[in-house]
């Protein structure tokens, strides 16, 4: 019996080490592109032209970062995107909570039809042109609200929130109702405080989605002052590609553009990565709890 236990414990340890090694390999594969970008952004023009930069900078050069940080339009777009991300995350969490909470009540009339109607929107969309034609009469073109209202609710995230609410005992709500608590009082004082893990998880989803989003601004916004950071960088990278076409004719050197590309990507990626450590402890907990019950 002891021999069998020892064999099982050894096999378990081997399995754990195999799992750890696989996770490390996956982590390295995910980190290598970021390390390469960082190295390229800090390398000299000559090293980039000769394709000598891989995982470590060669000929340290901060000119690309100086170009990014000294330009007013970059800084303005950065702070506008930070503000937009914060507002969108707050609005989206509010809408998601208000949509998910009523759907947990069995006495809600038409609950099944509402659930079906909401779920259908996950698979069918009107398309780009009908959405544009809708935004125009609503007066949302070139309006900051066009970056907030159309994407303020994700059905997938609402389902996660609703499933999490299902996991909260009904006895808590029933006891509050007996004490005379109203519909919104129960939500604010019972459900929201108990939902911090899933709220933090969905906040991360919404924040990353808004920070990385540019397609809605590309379609609905023409004012440069309303450009989020990602759209600004998208336009800049397109202009750099145009410069590289001219480079083939001998008009300019491609080293700075390659370094500037990497610096721009790092400039737009690092801030949102800094949020992950703060929400990491809630991330897996929130998603798994939201998937326990349906």
> Is position 170 within any domain?
yes
Residues 114 and 189 in one domain: yes
Residues 130 and 196 in one domain: yes
> Is position 57 within any domain?
no
Q: What values do phi and psi take at 17, rounded to 5?
A: -65, -40
Q: Which of 117, 73, 78, 118 is nearest to 96 (CA)?
A: 118
Q: What is the pLDDT of residue 93?
A: 94
CA distance linking residue 280 with residue 274, whole number of Å: 11
Question: What pLDDT band is residue 31 in, cutting at 50, 70 and 90?
Answer: confident
3-state secondary structure labels for all residues of 59-92 = CCCCHHHHHHHHCHHHHHHHHHHHHHHHHHHHHH
Taking a C-beta distance cutoff of 8 angstroms, is the pair 175, 160 a contact?
Answer: no
Residues 90 and 229 in one domain: yes
Q: Which of 62, 64, 59, 42 is nearest to 260 (CA)?
A: 64
> Is position 188 within any domain?
yes
> Is position 47 within any domain?
no
Residues 258 and 172 in one domain: yes
Residues 27 and 124 in one domain: no
pLDDT greater than 70 at residue 50: yes
Question: What pLDDT band is residue 115 in, cutting at 50, 70 and 90?
Answer: confident
> Is position 55 within any domain?
no
User: In this predicted model, what pLDDT tens digit does every residue of 237-285 receive, in sequence order?
Assistant: 776 555 444 344 333 444 557 777 788 888 888 887 777 777 666 666 6
Taking a C-beta distance cutoff of 8 angstroms, is the pair 113, 200 a contact?
Answer: no
Range of the domain at 21: 2-41
Residues 79 and 218 in one domain: yes
Q: What is the pLDDT of residue 92?
A: 95
pLDDT greater than 50 at residue 71: yes
Residues 37 and 85 in one domain: no
Residues 35 and 114 in one domain: no
Residues 35 and 153 in one domain: no
Tally of domains in the chain: 2
> Is position 294 within any domain?
no
User: In this predicted model, what pLDDT tens digit does every residue of 213-230 receive, in sequence order?
Assistant: 888 888 898 888 888 988
Residues 112 and 242 in one domain: yes
pLDDT greater than 70 at residue 163: yes
Over residues 73-80, mean pLDDT: 87
The token duo for 229 is 């950071």
Q: What is the pLDDT of residue 8?
A: 53
Residues 8 and 143 in one domain: no
Count Cα neighbours of 82 within 13 Å in the Cβ-side half-sphere: 11
Over residues 22-38, mean pLDDT: 86
Share of the chain above pLDDT 90, in %: 12
- Put simply, whether the predicted model's pTM sits higher than 0.85 gets the answer no
Average pLDDT over the chain, rounded to an integer: 80
> Is position 160 within any domain?
yes
pLDDT greater than 90 at residue 42: no
Residue with tokens 């702070």: 79
pLDDT greater than 60 at residue 290: no
Q: What is the pLDDT of residue 87?
A: 95
> Is position 156 within any domain?
yes
Residues 112 and 12 in one domain: no
- CATH number of the domain enclosing 81: 1.10.3720.10
């Amino acid at each position: 019996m002891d021999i069998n236990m020892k064999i099982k414990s050894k096999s378990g340890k081997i399995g754990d080490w195999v799992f750890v090694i696989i996770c490390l390999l996956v982590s390295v594969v995910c980190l290598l592109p970021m390390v390469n970008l960082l190295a390229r952004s800090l390398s000299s023009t000559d090293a980039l032209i000769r394709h000598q930069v891989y995982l470590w900078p060669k000929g340290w050069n901060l000119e690309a970062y100086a170009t990014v940080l000294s330009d007013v339009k970059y800084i303005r777009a950065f702070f506008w995107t930070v503000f937009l991300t914060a507002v969108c995350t707050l609005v989206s969490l509010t809408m998601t909570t208000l949509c998910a909470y009523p759907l947990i009540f069995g006495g809600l009339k038409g609950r099944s039809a509402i659930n079906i109607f909401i779920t259908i929107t996950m698979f069918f969309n009107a398309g780009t042109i009908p959405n544009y034609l809708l935004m125009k009469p609503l007066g949302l073109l070139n309006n900051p609200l066009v970056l907030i209202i159309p994407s303020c609710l994700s059905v997938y995230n609402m389902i996660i929130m609703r499933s999490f609410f299902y996991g909260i005992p009904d006895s808590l709500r029933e006891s509050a109702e007996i004490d005379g608590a109203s519909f919104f009082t129960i939500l604010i004082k019972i459900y929201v405080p108990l939902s911090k893990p899933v709220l933090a998880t969905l906040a991360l989803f919404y924040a990353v989605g808004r920070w990385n989003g540019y397609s809605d601004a590309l379609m609905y916004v023409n004012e440069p002052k309303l450009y989020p950071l990602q759209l600004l960088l998208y336009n800049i990278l397109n202009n750099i590609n145009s410069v590289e076409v001219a480079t083939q004719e001998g008009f300019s050197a491609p080293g700075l553009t390659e370094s500037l590309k990497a610096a721009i990507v790092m400039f737009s990626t690092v801030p949102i990565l800094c949020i992950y450590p703060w929400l990491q402890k809630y991330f897996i907990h929130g998603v798994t709890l939201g998937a326990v019950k349906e």
